[in-house]
Amino acid sequence: MHRKHLNSFKIYITLILTSIILSGCWDVMEVNDLAIVIATGIDQIEEEQIEVTFLLYVPNPSGAASGEVSGSSKNSYSISMTGDTFSDAVMKLESEVPREIFWGHSNIFIFGSELAKNELGKQLDFLVRTAEPREQSQIYISQEKAKVEVDKFVSINTAELFSKLPKSRYLKSMTLKDIEEMLVNNSQAGLIPISNTNSVKTSEDTIDSFAVKGSAIIYQGKMISSISGEKDIGSQWLLFPKTNIPININPDGKNGKVSAETIKKSIKLSPLLEDKTWSIKIKINTDLLILQNSTSLDIYNPTVMNQMKKEFSKKIKADIEEFLNHIQKDLKADVLQFYEAFHRSYPKETDDVKENWEEQFENIKVSIQVEVKIKNPGVTNLNIENK
Amino acid sequence: MKTADLHLKEFIKSYEFLPSSLEEKTKILKEIYKNCDDIVLHPFFSKQSAYLLIFVSGLCDEEKIHEHIVRPIQHTSIVSPELPLIISHVTNITNTKILSNTLEIIDEIADGNTILFNDIENKAVSYRITSYEKRSIEEPQAESVVIGSREGFIESISTNLSLVRRKIKTPSLKMSSMVIGTYSHTSIYISYIEGIASLQIVEDVKEKLTKLNVDAVLSNASIEEALEDNWSSPFPQVQYSERPEVVAAALLEGRVAIFIDGIPFVLMVPVTLFTLLQTPEDYTERFINGTLSRWLRYFFLMVALLAPSAYIAILTFHQEMIPTTLLLRIAQSREEIPFPAFLEALIMQVIFEVLREAGIRLPKQMGSTVSIVGTLVIGQAAIQAGLVSAPMVMIVAITGISSFLLPQYTLSIVLRWIPFPVMFLSGMLGLVGLMLGVLIIASHLCSLRSFGVSYLAPLAPNDSSLLKDVLIRVPLKFMKKRPSIYSSINPNRRNEGK
């Protein structure tokens, strides 16, 4: 009995001791030795020179001592580094900041539009190659210089804001993983939302906050176009299944507008290859919620309701067509990953046109079918104009 | 001392049977009880013959001796001094025994019985009129319940036996007695229900206790150690209860209860981890409440075991697992703390243990002072002094409170120190270390046996039919069978045919 216990005891001790020498386990990192990266901006300042701006969170000791835990502005610092590449700039930062650079909570990467136009793909490589940046972080392309935007975030509670970005039902967001998937495909085209700043007034002064305005089309590792307005809304229908989209229509011959919001939408691509004609059917199902009716129409009336449905689908279809025309005819960038859709159904035929997909893509016939359901025409029907 | 002791033993042995003459008996007894001034030898005479009474003062009701033994003998008209005649015709005490062996007589005296000798026989009568100071039955202190019986065991074994006998009235309830302790002669009762309990376990208990060779049984520890299968395990392998209904329920499940004289707790074997996690209230409350409080207990058992370790592991190795906003707050509160998270947790945990120990050792009136000083002053001051961070104080507090949720004190004291090695492992290896610790504990629990019953039964080995009283607490009408892990002799709880 004694001997048996002694043996199991020995086994435990050996287990513990051997686990210590397992490689990769001994990487203790105390929280107070970290410089937590919250946002990163990447710019091209001149030929072959990359400037990276980091928004770091370093706790403010004096703030903590007084027992005041604010977690906001006072502890955010922005710092810029230049280097030959993105990674070079990061390494320089590592050697200049006494703390360990911690990427685990880096929620947002903003690429300057200048850089995006020239070598976005080359710099994205660092993010997808190294293990530390998260695949779930959001990627944006800035309207102005990324440095300018990141610097502005010092004054707001950015960490909290950025952690909420992916959950937002209205702000478009693309994760690093989404973009990786888009660009790695044969179509080599993708779409990244464009970020901007908004001025927000507080009681004391004006500060800048984060905003999303329009999108950029990426093709072969470079930004080739920026879209906004109807084209952008069209892209949202096809590429951002989770965000809600506002729709305004102007029913024929009536004064005023009817505004609605999507509460649910689904999209289905069905490719068809017949007699060497490439065609694809995009079917969109959507549920709408009427937000405002400034016309004299009575939406509760079934005939009017049906008319509304038609009007809405027409509007949605128009927006999508606008976007499709732009990417198909003007840019020849297969942002919607049609290649993948065809490849799944007709692998052999698609492989044959792999080399000149650009040409093929331009000639694909797209038919759009929109099915609108008005889930909620509003709580009450006031119709002021009728009375 | 040893020679004197040997001398006494030799002496008693040489007089295996006492002589008939009262004079000689008195001489021998006086020699045996030399310097024992609490032993009363009282010679008295009836009209025809002489008698001798011997008893321990304080263990007998002296008034009763006078009333029911001495006076009837002195005033009787019966001439013969023969002991059977005196029992049946003169004295009026019912619980009597005729003894002849000297050793037996000595044991009877020690038990508080009154012994009567006459002048013509080498035998003696033992009258059971024991009466000594004892605590009255009070509400159990260590296992209090809101709804349920208020009776608790006391130090007197006869009272304890009667408390259980009153719950289970069948003659199948066996109480087999045993005397342990070379000097203490402590009486112990092994109790089980014949026809339910596994005879093998009963025999096993008897054998283990017979083998036990100790001077005295002053605490339950010597009995507990004798019953354990694995002495080196930190986990308790005996269940204690001071509530008769808990013991009765255990007996009805086919377990064996051990009563020890002088100890207000009854020991129960075999034991599984889940029996130690059950409270009597699980069964007095409605089944939904019983189930929920059981879940709460299981969850906080894990919290008590792992909360500080998980905090250390995540904070020092896996910061990406913490929500961003929370991490920033933790980072800010930890900014000025000079120690690594592991050391910080260790300091707080040790301080907490000190406070808990102090609270137990101090007199009751002072206990609250300690807790006020401990919680308010030390907790608050430690944060302000920058020794520990506020989240850590919270984690330690939650851990402490969680360990109080466990109904068996013996189990909750294990959980006071088991977290320390796990904390050490997770401080070194992060979540890998934490899992390693859990693995070690789990494999140890799996290997543990109590009288052949797996400690983790019925979870490991899995017996899904019994999980309804482990993972949940189903209404009693669905618990038709006794747990088969203890005994399979009589599996049905219901009287068949009804």
Gap between the Cα atoms of B404 and B398, Å rounded: 10
- Residue A147 shares a structural domain with residue A160: yes
CB atoms within 10 A of CB B192: 25
Q: Which of residues 232-261 of B touch A (CB under 8 A)?
A: 232
Write down the H helix ranges in chain A: 2-20, 61-65, 86-96, 113-129, 146-152, 158-164, 176-184, 229-239, 302-325, 338-345, 347-352, 357-362
Asked if A210 contacts A139 with a C-beta cutoff of 8 angstroms, the reply is no
Question: Does A234 share its domain with A106?
Answer: no
Distance CA B53, CA B118 (A): 9
Q: Do B246 and B335 reside in the same domain of the chain?
A: no
pLDDT for B292: 93
CA distance A222 to B460: 60
Residue found under tokens 């001790």? A13
Confidence check: pLDDT of B138 > 70:
yes
Mutate to test the interface with A, among B208, B316, B324 (most CBs of A within 10 A): B324
**Residue B408: inside a domain, yes or no?**
yes
Q: Of A231, A203, A199, A201, nearest to A216 (Cα)?
A: A231
Is B277 a domain residue?
A: no
Give B365-393 as a DSSP string.
Answer: HHHHHHHHIIIIIIIHHHHHTTSS-HHHH
Residue A202: phi, psi to the nearest 5?
Answer: -110, 180
User: In this complex, which of A16, A27, A159 lies closest to B328 when CB atoms are compared?
Assistant: A159
Q: Tell me which amino acid residue B49 is.
A: S
Tell me the shortest Cα–Cα distance from B227 to chain A, in angstroms: 15
Chain A: give the shortest CA distance to residue B287, in Å: 40
Task: Give the closest-approach CA distance of A33 to chain B in angstroms.
Answer: 9
Question: Could you say which of A29, A67, A163 has the minimum Cβ distance to residue B325?
Answer: A163
Structure token pair of residue A248:
């305004």
Closest-CA residue to A67 (of B113, B381, B171, B371): B381
Residue B467 DSSP class:
G
Domains contained in chain B, number: 3
Same domain, yes or no, for B59 and B191?
no
If you average pLDDT over every residue of chain B, what do you get? 87
Query: pLDDT by residue (tens digit) across B87-100?
Result: 888 888 888 888 88
Chain position carrying tokens 């009288």: B451
Residue in chain B nearest A1 by alpha carbon: B230
Q: Is the pLDDT of residue B497 over 60?
A: no
Task: Give the separation between CA A219 and CA A187, rounded to whole angstroms.
Answer: 8
Residues B317 and B436 in one domain: yes
Span A129-166, pLDDT tens digits:
888 888 888 899 998 888 888 888 877 666 677 777 77
CA-based nearest residue to A354, from A190, A187, A219: A187
Instruction: Give the model's pLDDT for residue A183.
Output: 80
Confidence of residue B244 (pLDDT cuts 50, 70, 90): very high
Assess if residue A380 is contained within a domain: yes
Q: In terms of domains, do B267 and B331 share one?
A: no
Whether residues A188 and A82 share a domain: the answer is yes
Which of B106, B127, B148 is at the close of a domain?
B127
Count of residues in chain B: 498
Distance CA A270, CA A365 (A): 12
Count of beta carbons in the 10 Å neighbourhood of residue B78: 14
Residue A253 has pLDDT above 70, yes or no: no
**Helices (H), ranges, B168-242:** 199-211, 221-227
pLDDT, tens digit, 9 for 90 and up, residues B335-380: 888 888 888 999 888 888 888 888 788 887 777 777 777 777 777 8
Let me know if residue B177 belongs to a domain: yes
Predicted confidence band of residue A71 (pLDDT cuts 50, 70, 90): very low
pLDDT of residue A384: 61
- Residues A284, A166: one domain? no
Write the single-letter amino acid at B422: V
A8-16: long-range pairs with CB below 8 Å, 24+: A8/B444, A8/B447, A9/B232, A12/B440, A15/B436, A15/B440, A16/B425, A16/B436
Number of helices (H) and strands (E), helices first, in chain B?
Answer: 21, 12
| Cβ distance of A105 and B327 shorter than 8 Å | yes
pLDDT at A279: 92
Which of A227, A259, A291 corresponds to the end of one domain? A227
**Number of neighbours of residue B141 by Cβ within 10 angstroms:** 9
How many domains in chain A? 2
The pLDDT score that the predictor gives to residue A353 is: 87
For residue A62, name the pLDDT band (cuts at 50, 70, 90). Answer: very low
Rounded Cα gap, residues B367 and B282, in angstroms:
30
A170-200 tens-digit pLDDT: 888 888 998 888 888 888 888 999 988 888 7
For A340-375, what is each residue's pLDDT tens digit? 889 999 999 888 888 888 888 888 999 999 999 988
pLDDT in tens, A280-312: 999 999 999 988 888 888 888 888 889 889 989
Question: Pick from B137, B146, B104, B136: which is nearest to B122 by CA?
Answer: B104
Chosen for mutation from B229, B231, B327, B328 (greatest number of chain A CBs closer than 10 Å) is B328
| A contacts of B325 (beta carbons < 8 Å) | 71, 159-160, 163
Least confident of A243-247, A267-271, B132-136: B132-136
End-to-end CA distance of chain B: 66
Q: B184 falls in which pLDDT band (50, 70, 90)? A: confident
Q: Are residues B307 and B422 in the same domain?
A: yes
Q: Looking at the structure, do residues B346 and B214 belong to the same domain, yes or no?
A: no
Residue A141 resides in a domain: yes
Asked if B357 and B229 sit in the same domain, the reply is no
Q: A318 lies in which domain range?
A: 228-387
A196 shares its domain with A333: no
CA distance B165 to B247: 11
Q: Which residues contact B198 (CB under 8 A, 6 or more apart)?
A: B254, B486, B487, B488, B489
What's the pLDDT band for A385 if we cut at 50, 70, 90? low
Q: Which domain holds residue B26?
A: 2-127
Cβ-based neighbour number of residue A371 at 10 Å? 13
Once rounded to an integer, what is the mean pLDDT over residues A20-32? 68
> Is A4 among the domain residues?
no
What six digits make up the tokens of B425?
A: 């492992």
Q: Inter-chain contact A19–B433, Cβ cutoff 8 Å?
A: yes
**Dist CA A77 CA A151 (whole Å):** 8
Give yes or no: residues A258 and A309 share one domain.
Answer: yes
CB-based contact, B327 to chain A, within 8 Å: yes
Tell me, yes or no, whether B478 lies in a domain: no
Give the per-residue pLDDT at A386: 54
Q: List, for residues B436-495, the tens digit of each pLDDT value.
A: 899 999 999 999 999 989 999 888 888 888 888 888 888 888 888 888 888 888 888 877
> With 0-12 CB in 10 A as exposed, 13-18 as middle and 19+ as buried, what is A163?
middle
The backbone torsions φ and ψ at residue B208, rounded to the nearest 5 degrees and listed phi first, read -65, -40
Strand partners, A281: A270, A367
For B10, the enclosing helix (H) or strand (E) is helix B2-14
Domain-terminating residue out of A198, A227, A256:
A227
Q: Which amino acid is at B231?
A: W
Same domain assignment for residues A273 and A139: no
Q: Measuring CA to CA, which residue among A120, A167, A168, A159 is closest to residue A141?
A: A120
Label each residue of B275-343 as H, E or C: HHCCCCHHHHCCHHHHHHHHHHHHHHHHHHHHHHHHHHHHHHHCHHHCCHHHHHHHHHHHCCCCCCHHH
Residues B110 and B178 both lie in one domain: no
Are residue B392 and residue B436 in the same domain, yes or no? Answer: yes
B112 φψ region: left (φ > 0), alpha (ψ -120 to 50), beta (else): left
Q: How confident is the model at residue A240 (pLDDT cuts 50, 70, 90)?
A: confident
ipTM above 0.95, yes or no: no
Calculate how close chain A gets to B410, using CA atoms only, in Å: 22
Whether residues A223 and A233 share a domain: the answer is no
Q: Are residues B244 and B375 in the same domain?
A: no
Predicted pLDDT of residue A387 = 47
Q: How sure is the predictor about A20, in pLDDT bands with cuts at 50, 70 and 90?
A: low
If asked whether residues B70 and B213 sit together in one domain, one would say no
Same domain, A101 and A241: no
Instruction: Show the tokens assigned to A286.
Output: 């959507």
Q: Is residue B134 part of a domain?
A: no
Boundary of a domain, candidates A165, A199, A227: A227
A20, A65, A159 member nearest B428 (Cβ): A20
All residues of chain A having their beta carbon less than 8 Å from the beta carbon of residue B337 are 32
**Residue B77 has what pLDDT?**
82
Of A16, A65, A160, the CB nearest to B425: A16
Residues A207 and A343 in one domain: no
Task: Answer with the residue of higher pLDDT: B142 or B395.
Answer: B395
> Is B69 contained in some domain?
yes
- Comparing CB atoms, the residue among B324, B433, B440 nearest residue A159 is B324
Quick one: A136 and A283 in the same domain? no
Chain A residues inside the 8 Å CB shell of B436 = 15-16, 19
Closest Cβ–Cβ partner in A25, A71, A134 for B332: A71
Whole-angstrom distance, CA of residue A197 vs CA of residue A95: 31
pLDDT at A111 over 50: yes
Give residue A64's pLDDT band: very low, low, confident or very high (50, 70, 90). Answer: very low
At residue A67, does pLDDT exceed 50? no
The per-residue pLDDT for B1 is 44
Q: Is A48 left (phi over 0), alpha (psi -120 to 50) or beta?
A: left
What six digits make up the tokens of B429? 């290896």
Contact of B455 with B272, CB cutoff 8 Å:
yes
Mean pLDDT for A196-225 is: 84
* pLDDT: which is higher, A256 or B423: B423
**Could you tell me if B266 and B307 lie in one domain?**
no
What are B187-241's pLDDT values in tens digits?
Answer: 999 999 999 999 999 999 999 999 998 889 888 888 999 999 888 899 999 999 9
What pLDDT score was predicted for residue A110?
92
In a domain, A2, yes or no: no
* Chain position carrying tokens 């199948």: B172
Same domain, A267 and A318: yes
Q: What is the CATH number of the domain that holds A319?
A: 3.30.300.210
